[in-house]
Structure 1
Amino acid sequence: MTTIDRPLGLRERKRQETHRTIALTALRLIAERGLEHVTVEDIATEVGVSSRTFFNYFGSKEDALSTAYPDHRHRIDRLAERLEEAPPGPDPLAGLMAIARSDLERIDADRDEWLLRMTVFTDNPQLLARTAVLESAGEQQMTEAIARWCGLPADDQYPALVLYTFGAAVRSAMRRWYAVDGAESMVDLVEAACAALSAGLPLPADATPRG
């Protein structure tokens, strides 16, 4: 168990519950009314908190959609710490899959929520820009952690390539998962994508290339 994975105290648990309540309420209202027709005040009123309390947790209604879980701000710290503790191996994508498994399992566990979230993002593609900003904040930290895991200098190209390749595997899996309405396991889809990439991305057995 990493330092960040240790049990939380009562105060922190209550804070996380409030975060989740606000995030889920924002998602529901925006899905029902549309992004442009929901204000921070609407969300706060529905939850039963003040707008000031809302801003203690989120910078905007868009952030409430992009940070589904209260431990989001610790996510990169948690992944980097898990990678530090993981034994080195020949397949870095498999290593990243192992440390990210619990995060991916949450998507399967919260299937309906994530299907709704992806519908909202599909209907409002401008939200992707904010998500990209939030994700990019931890790129350097993860690149450095991968470099240490691989035994390479932090400025080597390979660790960044591994990180972005894993990100592509997750995004392609999310696209497939959404297309089949969550009928397939997100964990299995990412594992399959990583395995294909590690194998050199050969054509699937059922592919029928032209010519």
Structure 2
Amino acid sequence: MCESATPSRVERRMRQTAVNLTAVSRRLTAERGLAGFTIEEVCDSVDVSRRTFFNYFASKEDAVIGANPDDEYRRFAEQFHARGAGEWPRVLNDLIDLAIEHIESEEMDPSVHTDLMAALEREPRLLARFIGISRDRDRQFRGLIANRQGVGENDPRVVAIVGILSSLMKSSADTFVDPVNDQDFATILTSSLAAMRLVLAVPTS
């Protein structure tokens, strides 16, 4: 990872505060709905001021969705480009590695993902917004990969990698939050990637 992409202690602390605000907002939304709690309750749970909350998020809805998608994307893009162009299998490896780094840096708790799913189910407008953000992120990833590899965004290899990444992340998250699961997210994701490549390596008839 390039030096500029390595978060400082202050940045890590700020990121953790955002993660904590999101975790509480998701839990309360899952339990009561958006109208069932106040921003002050979230702040009290995280031990921050109302002013601090608004330094991170403009509303409860934003807190539930999570960290600023544009900020996350800029960090991810910088790290991805720093690894340089390579063979297509390496592109997917780099994306998976960076996804794991990001998730581990947030100390992902299974309950946070479970609460998000419950919150989205309870609040349809949040679900619509989340779907929109996911679609925008897929478009961003296509552009990111295309730029690094020197091809068009509609290149079948670009489209395939984004589809595989999206599918692996979703299935791994579902496994991670399963009550009977005893593996960390990185193990689940890398195992899923290995299984996918094993299946695709079988010659077609």
- How far, CA to CA, are the matches of 2:186 and 2:53 in structure 1? 32
Q: Which runs of no fewer than 5 residues in structure 2 stay unpaired?
A: none
CA distance, structure 2, for counterparts of residue 33 and residue 170 of structure 1: 28
CA contact (8 A) 2:25 2:60 kept: yes
Q: Distance in 2 between matches of 1:2 and 1:139?
A: 24
Give the match for residue 156 of structure 1.
155
Q: CA deviation at 1:201?
A: 5.0
Which string of whole-angstrom CA distances, capped at 9 and with x for unpartnered residues, describes residues 153-196 of structure 1? 23424313311221111101111222245422211221222223
Q: Which residue of 1 aligns with 2:71?
A: 74
What TM-score do you get using the length of structure 2 for normalisation? Answer: 0.73
Aligned Cα root-mean-square deviation (Å): 3.4
**Paired residues of 2:26 and 2:112 also in contact (CA < 8 A):** no
1:155-194 equivalence runs, <5 A: 155-194=154-193
**When the two structures are aligned, how many residues end up with a matched partner?**
198
Match of 1:120 in 2: 118
Q: For 2:27 and 2:185, locate their aligned partners in 1 and report how far apart those are by CA, in whole Å.
A: 22
Counterpart AA for 1:146 = I
1:89 aligns with 2:87: yes
Task: Tell me which amino acid in the other structure corresponds to 1:114.
Answer: V
SS in 1 for 2:8: coil
- Given that residues 4 and 78 in structure 1 are in contact (C-alpha distance below 8 angstroms), is that contact kept between their aligned partners in structure 2? no
Question: For residues 164 and 64 of structure 1, do their structure 2 counterparts lie closer, same or farther at Cα, with a shift above 3 Å needed?
Answer: same
Alignment of 1:1-211 (within 5 A): 1-2=1-2, 5-8=5-8, 10=10, 15-16=14-15, 18-44=17-43, 47=47, 49-50=49-50, 54-67=53-66, 70=67, 72-87=69-84, 88-91=86-89, 92-106=91-105, 109-114=107-112, 116-118=114-116, 120-121=118-119, 123-124=121-122, 126=124, 127-201=126-200
Q: Is the alpha carbon distance of 1:45 and 1:190 closer, same or farther for their aligned partners in structure 2, counting shifts above 3 Å?
A: closer
Distance change in 2, residues 1:106/1:73 (3 Å): same
Amino acid at match of 2:184: S
Q: Distance in 2 between matches of 1:98 and 1:53?
A: 32
Seen in structure 2, the aligned counterparts of structure 1 residues 167 and 125 have a Cα distance that, compared at 3 Å, is: farther
- In 2: Cα distance, 1:152 partner to 1:89 partner: 13
Displacement of 1:56:
3.8
- TM-score w.r.t. the length of structure 1 is 0.71
* CA–CA distance in structure 2, aligned partners of residues 24 and 84 of structure 1: 30
Between structures 1 and 2, the one with greater helix share: 2
